Amino acid sequence: MDEAEYKIEEIVFCENCQDDVKYEIRSEIIKIDMEDIEFSYEALVPYCKECGEEVSVPEINDLNIIRAYKAQKEALENREEFK
Ligand SMILES: [Zn+2]
């Protein structure tokens, strides 16, 4: 995957730095293991460029929630097919 496409220059407040910082976005595979189903999805995780700590970006959180929801839906559909 081309990492460059995820690199956008935005400013976010980093709690670790206690300052407004630039961040970079990396994609990470997140595994969800719930009682009745497990699935994984590619999440976008923003990291502070100053200290390297994960930062919270609401717009990216929203994207991840949508990605997780889609992955869960697909996993449920696949499970139905194998019944
Ligand atoms: Zn920081």
> pLDDT digit string (tens) for 50-66?
999 999 999 899 999 99
Overall number of domains in the chain = 1
Å from CA of 5 to ligand 1 middle: 22
Å from CA of 19 to ligand 1 middle: 7
Mean pLDDT value of segment 44-52: 96
What is the C-alpha to C-alpha distance for residues 7 and 26, in angstroms, rounded to an integer? 8
| DSSP-assigned beta bridge partners for residue 29 | 42
> pLDDT digit string (tens) for 4-23?
555 555 899 999 999 999 99
Å from CA of 34 to ligand 1 middle: 32
Per-residue pLDDT at 1: 46
- What pTM was estimated for this model as a whole? 0.75
Range of the domain at 19: 3-81
Q: What contacts 8, CB < 8 A, 6 or more positions away?
A: 25
Q: Which residues are close to ligand 1, an ion, with C-beta < 5 A? A: 14, 16-17, 48, 50-51
Q: Residue 31 CA to chain centroid, in angstroms?
A: 11
| DSSP-assigned beta bridge partners for residue 46 | 25
